[in-house]
Amino acid sequence: MNGFRNFMIGRYGTDQFTLALLIAGMILTFIGNAFKLKLLTMFTYVIFLACVYRTMSRNITARQKENNTFLRYWNPLRSWFKTKYNIVKSSRNYKYFKCPKCKQELRVPRGRGKIVVTCQKCNTKFIQKS
């Protein structure tokens, strides 16, 4: 294990981008095998090689730059999915709707009848059935 640690000194290691590539590669391998797509399977080799290359790379600045570019697209996507997941999870207890003025997503507890809602973003008041 010590030899491996010495080997990895000064090398970049793994980050979110490598992990995402790895997961994408595994999914594509699965699809490639399921539909017998040789070209796709070949492409996954390129992805896995890129993972190894990025992990072993000594050009840390370049790898960090790649990871930052990846995160710039990935983070908004992730928070969008997280929001949608939370809405689905809590939709039994809360009713979701958009503010008629600023389109901010709002929620109220279900089963309170018609209530006056004040948008937290633009302070618009409107009546909403809960």
State the Cα angle at 127 between 121 and 128, rounded to 5°: 85
Binding site for Zn ion (CB under 5 A): 99, 101-102, 104, 119, 121-122, 124
Which pairing describes strands 114-118 and 105-109: parallel, antiparallel, or unpaired?
Answer: unpaired
With H, G, I as helix, E, B as strand and everything else as coil, classify residue 25.
helix
CB of 55 or CB of 124, closer to Zn ion: 124
Closest contact distance (angstroms) between CB of 119 and Zn ion is 3
Among residues 43 and 126, whose Cβ is nearest to Zn ion? 126
Minimum distance between the CB of residue 77 and Zn ion, rounded to whole angstroms?
24
User: Toward Zn ion, which CB reaches closer, 21 or 117?
Assistant: 117
Burial, 88: exposed, middle or buried (Cβ in 10 Å; 0-12, 13-18, 19+)?
A: exposed
Least distance CB 72 / Zn ion (angstroms) = 27
